[in-house]
A and B are shown apart, each in its own frame.
Chain A
Amino acid sequence: MTGYVIKRLLGAVPTLFAIVLLSFLLMRLAPGGPFDEEQALAPEIKSNLERAYGLDQPLHVQFGRYLGGLLRGDFGPSFKFKDFSVTELIATGLPVSLELGALAMLLAVTLGLPLGMLAALRHNAPADHLVMALAVLGIAVPVFVIAPLAALLFGIYLQWLPVGGWAPGEAADMVLPTVTLALPIIAYVARLTRGSLLETLRSPFVRAARARGVPATRVVWRHALPAALTPVISYLGPATAAVLTGSLVVETIFGLPGLGRYLVQGALNRDYTLVMGMVIVYAALMVVLNLIVDVAYAWLDPRVRHGGNK
């Protein structure tokens, strides 16, 4: 098990390096520079600025510096938020995004699993059809449609919940962003759980357990469910990716001061260093979270960690 974790950790290093290199090259090879404003700068000012940001150095030197900075936790200055370094912006945004993402994932699993189980155990009953209809809806309607509709319905017409802001300790602020972000994941988890549990319930070992006279509840909880959970757990990797991209929309719509909003603002302002920093943080988050999911998967399924056939 430890060997597997170490192997996966080492495997993540080249991926992270590739992410940094690729985003660095894309940004540097772009036509135009960060100082191309509507009004052209005087050449002396431009060259001074470029020197100040180290842009007059050859490409590999710039990359070395950037990488060295990253290893020390320094993402460089933001070109447009002039009083802040990218590291400072990340430090303020990361906790908000992590809290939002963690809450959404928690909600998705705690709601999606029981809904999927309910649908599977009441196969072809009204409850099943209802859950599946909701699941199809949740999967096909994107977050950027759900979020404004939810804000319109619960925030403006019904006035139940605030539609923006993020004050520490204000639980009501978190409800709409968390729920809208979680909805597609809930739908997916429910659909996966249902499909996989239905299949498991038909498999020989469950039938054998029933034949031995194991009580029905015990068959579901102790025999079928653990086996049925593997596809759901392997979906958690893609789910974290969905939560991270969805958070861009949710943070923008509900005005949360998270990473996603900085990334969107940076992209709109063409703030090169900010976008690069945010993309690297997001990518690193994705790699780390996927690693955690994979380790959890290996822990649950011995075939994976021993490199057996899938």
Chain B
Amino acid sequence: MKRAGGLWLDAARRLAGKRAAMASFCLLVALGLLTVIGPALSHFPPDELDWSMMGAPPDLDSGHWLGTDRLGRDLFVRTLHGARMSLGIALLATAVSLLIGVTWGAVAGYAGGRVDAALMRFVDVLYALPNIFFVIILTVVFDRSPMLLFVAIGAVGWLTMARVVRGQALVLMRRDFIEAAIASGAGPSRVIFRHVVPNLLGTVIVYATLMIPQMILIESFLSFLGIGIQEPLSSLGNLIADGAMEMEAAPWMLLVPATCLVIIVFCFNFLGDGLRDALDPQDG
């Protein structure tokens, strides 16, 4: 028998053995760091127009390493800012989803019976609604700020999490250690947050990792259509939309942000798959 805590150590070791997942993880960390420190490496601010350098191709000598956009703004800096915005919104939206979804699911699983039925019926009804269209309504009604976007995306993204957590919580509630905790006088919130939720962490981490790319795609989708992040702020979505307009004359304007987006989405998916295998070894 292994000592307590061995599960996480085992999982980390199994994950380290997966090359695709580890490479993705390293790439994501590197990219994350780059979005923070990268803009400082270039001496161009993200919103400075340069009328003499409009739509300049990638060029190492001019300092515009990845070219400029149609207003002469440096594409390297703008793409990093865009990636930071997209990642930031996705992480915050995932956090919002986690907070609502885990609490909702754990309470439903803990309470069982009628409370469970009512809570999950509510989730079922929301599930049948086309979420993305409600996010669009929200962007019509409220100011299109990054704040609104992550709250709106996060508020519609928690349903799957609630279902997953509730299913696991139901199973956990039948275990002896929960019964022991209840017998020794632990109240509902203590049982839920000290005993149920910590035992769900593995599943929650896997789903959260797989949820982040979904959130990035939703945010970029809205920004691409022009109803997400607004100029002069950049996100990968509105950079791709800009690039698509100029793609005939300046294909790099499309290719640079599109490549960045695809890499991020790929990496999160690989990492999520790797984590699932690492945390859930019995499932192939």
- The answer to whether A264 touches B226 (Cβ under 8 A) is yes
Task: Report the stretch among A142-150, A175-183, A209-217, A220-228 that lies at the interface.
Answer: A142-150
A162 to B262, CA, bound (A): 26
**Closest Cβ neighbor of A19 among chain B residues:** B129
Rounded to whole angstroms, the CA-CA distance of A198 and B172 in the bound complex is 32
CA–CA, A140 to B263, complex, Å? 9
Per-residue CB contact flags for chain B residues 116-140 toward chain A (1 = under 8 Å, else 0) read: 0000000001001110111011111
Distance (Å) between the CB of A89 and the closest chain B CB?
Answer: 16
Of B140, B254, B269, the residue contacting A140 (CB under 8 A) is B269
B224 contacts A267, CB within 8 Å? no
Q: Is A282 an interface residue (CB 8 A)?
A: yes
* Residues on the A chain within 8 Å of B240, using CB: 144-145, 148
Main SS class of interface, B: helix
Contact with B along A10-49 (1 / 0, CB 8 A): 0000110011001100110011000000000000000000
A24–chain B nearest beta-carbon distance, Å: 10
What's the least CB distance linking B161 to chain A, in Å? 17
Shortest CB-to-CB span from A244 to chain B, Å, is: 7
Q: Interface-forming stretch among B25-33, B45-53, B241-249?
A: B241-249
Do A275 and B140 have beta carbons less than 8 Å apart? Answer: yes
Q: Which chain B residues border A286 with CB–CB below 8 Å?
A: 130
Check A26–B134 contact: CB distance below 8 A. Answer: yes
- Residues of chain B within 8 A of A144, CB atoms compared: 220-221, 224, 237, 240-241, 244
What mask results when residues 245 to 286 of chain A are scored 1 for a CB within 8 Å of chain B, else 0? 100110011000000000110111010100110010011001
Name the contact of A267 in the complex, choosing from B139, B220, B254 (C-beta under 8 A).
B139
A148 to B256, CA, bound (A): 13
Say yes or no: is B193 at the interface (Cβ < 8 Å to chain A).
no
Q: How many residues of B contact A (CB 8 A)?
A: 37
Query: Which chain B residues border A236 with CB–CB below 8 Å?
Result: none
**Within 8 Å CB of A244, what residues of B?**
130
Does A100 lie at the interface of the complex (its beta carbon under 8 Å from any beta carbon of B)?
A: no
When A142-B261, A267-B225, A275-B137 are in contact, do A148 and B244 touch as well, CB less than 8 Å? yes
**B265 pairs with A248, CB closer than 8 A:** no
Residues of A within 8 A of B125 (CB): 14-15, 18
CB-CB under 8 A from A151, the residues of chain B are: 244, 247
Other-chain contact of A30, B141, B237, B241, B244 (Cβ < 8 Å): B141
**A156 in the interface, Cβ–Cβ < 8 Å?**
yes
Q: With A141-B262, A144-B237, A268-B226 in contact, is A245–B221 under 8 Å at CB? A: yes
**B100 CB–A CB distance under 8 Å:** no
- CB-contact partner of B251 in A30, A152, A252, under 8 A: A152
The reply to whether A248 and B248 contact each other, CB–CB distance below 8 Å, is no
Contact status B225-A15, CB under 8 Å:
no
Question: Which of A14, A156, A241, A267 contacts B140 (CB under 8 A)?
Answer: A267
Closest chain B residue to A264 by CB distance?
B225
Contacts of A263 in B (CB 8 A): 136
In the bound complex, CA of A249 to CA of B221 (Å): 8
Most chain A Cβ neighbours within 10 Å, of B139, B224, B240, B262: B224
Q: Is the CB of B227 within 8 A of A267?
A: yes
> What separation, in Å, do the CA atoms of A18 and B248 have in the docked complex?
45
Alpha-carbon distance between A10 and B246 when the two chains are bound, in angstroms: 49
Any B CB within 8 A of the CB of A108: no
Are B262 and A140 touching (Cβ within 8 A)? yes
Q: What mask results when residues 126 to 168 of chain B are scored 1 for a CB within 8 Å of chain A, else 0?
A: 0011101110111111100000000000000000000000000
B99 within 8 A of A: no
Contacts of A267 in B (CB 8 A): 136, 139-140, 225, 227
B200 at the interface (CB under 8 A from A): no
Q: How far is the CB of A101 from chain B (nearest CB, A)?
A: 14
Whether B221 contacts A149 by the Cβ 8 Å rule is no
Please tell me if the beta carbons of A22 and B134 are within 8 angstroms of each other in the complex.
yes
- Point out residues on A near B: beta carbons under 8 Å: 14-15, 18-19, 22-23, 26-27, 30-31, 136, 140-142, 144-145, 147-149, 151-152, 156, 241, 244-245, 248-249, 252-253, 263-264, 266-268, 270, 272, 275-276, 279, 282-283, 286-287, 290
Q: Give 4 closest A-B pairs by Cβ, nearest first.
A: A30-B141, A148-B244, A144-B224, A279-B133
Residue positions of B touching A, CB distance < 8 A: 125, 128-130, 132-134, 136-142, 213, 217, 220-221, 224-227, 237, 240-241, 243-244, 247-248, 251, 254, 258, 261-262, 265-266, 269
6 contacts between A and B (CB under 8 A): A19-B129, A23-B134, A144-B221, A263-B136, A275-B137, A279-B136
Known: A249-B225, A275-B140. 8 other contacts (CB 8 A): A26-B138, A27-B141, A142-B221, A148-B240, A275-B137, A276-B137, A279-B130, A282-B130
